[in-house]
Amino acid sequence: MWGQAWGNIYDIAAPQGLPGPGYDLTASLQAKGYDATRMMKTGEGFYTAMGMAPLPETFWSRSMITRPRDREVVCHASAWDVDNDQDVRVKMCTRVNADDFYTVHHELGHNVYQRAYAKQPFLFRGGANDGFHEAIGDFVGLSALTPTYLKQIGVIDTVPGPEADIPYLLKMSMDKIAFLPFGLLVDKWRWQVFSGQVDPAHYNEAWWKLRTQYQGLTPPGPRPADAFDPGAKFHVADSTPYTRYFLAQVYQFQFYRAACRQAGWTGPLNRCSVYGDKAVGQKFEAMMAMGQSKPWPEALEAFTGEKDLDASAIADYFAPLNLWLTQQNKGQQCGW
């Protein structure tokens, strides 16, 4: 409803004349008998296969991983560190589908990070910056969606050939690339509000001005004078800063590229899975264990060898798609 990810309209944007990704992840998970617990156990398995400790027993007894039958809850997925030590939990109304398969790996990334820096002095128990905390699980999620990994854990039986790369990357870009302008504009709007640049009478107008400027989106029809569309976004209503998600969208690809290089991967970046690579896991956990004890550039360098935000990793990941789209759009007027 926010237009922050466009993967759900992939079916009307799918390239004509090309085969699909070669499998339906939702259908495969359901056919293999996955339930919420098995989804969560599979996510945990990714981290333990990289050498990290299993989740504590209290995680399984205290987390909410399915929608309760006896009360209303907020189902927006989130991960929690209750005691700044080992009492980590997830709150999620897990469904057996591709979206939640990714989300499980993402949310557990928060818990794995929290446990990694638990031995730091209290003031340093946190992500190197807010973007890091979101990017940890997203990096693992990038690996977890690859057909390479899905074959490794038996969710799919065969890895599709190279002809499936363009459909795979196009669908991924409709979530990842489409998110970048949205991730930027939410806090741009908030800053306009907090600074007084925009008064309450123009909150909604300012919101749609940014949506059109950065995303090329307009409302489906005229908006009433008292409309407050940004309030429909959880993070606006909850007053959760949003720049972390924009930064994480870059960091996750930096982490992913660095991990694949360390693993010696030489194929297309989008097919790389670091599942089971304990050497990569050891180096990754060492970065997480730093928490906030060092400036974030030093934490970034500890794992990637790079000291600054570098979006070239996104370009590397989507390079085959960019080449294909350049050919497809030849002679076309792109933009809005």
Residues labelled catalytic? 76-77, 106-107, 110, 134, 235, 245
Tokens of 177: 């690339």
The amino acid at residue 88 is: V
Alpha carbons within 13 angstroms on the beta-carbon side of residue 120 total 23
Report the DSSP beta bridge partners of residue 91. Answer: 64, 78
CA pair distance 31, 33, nearest whole angstrom: 5
Residues 6+ apart with CB under 8 A from 104: 39, 40, 42, 43, 92, 94
Residues 6+ apart with CB under 8 A from 7: 171, 172, 174, 175
On whether the CB atoms of residues 14 and 20 are closer than 8 A, the answer is yes
Angle at 190 between CA 107 and CA 288, to 5 degrees: 30
CA pair distance 198, 209, nearest whole angstrom: 12
Placement of tokens 């909850």 in the chain: 238
The amino acid at residue 114 is: Q
On whether the CB atoms of residues 229 and 274 are closer than 8 A, the answer is no
CA pair distance 311, 251, nearest whole angstrom: 8
CA pair distance 116, 287, nearest whole angstrom: 9
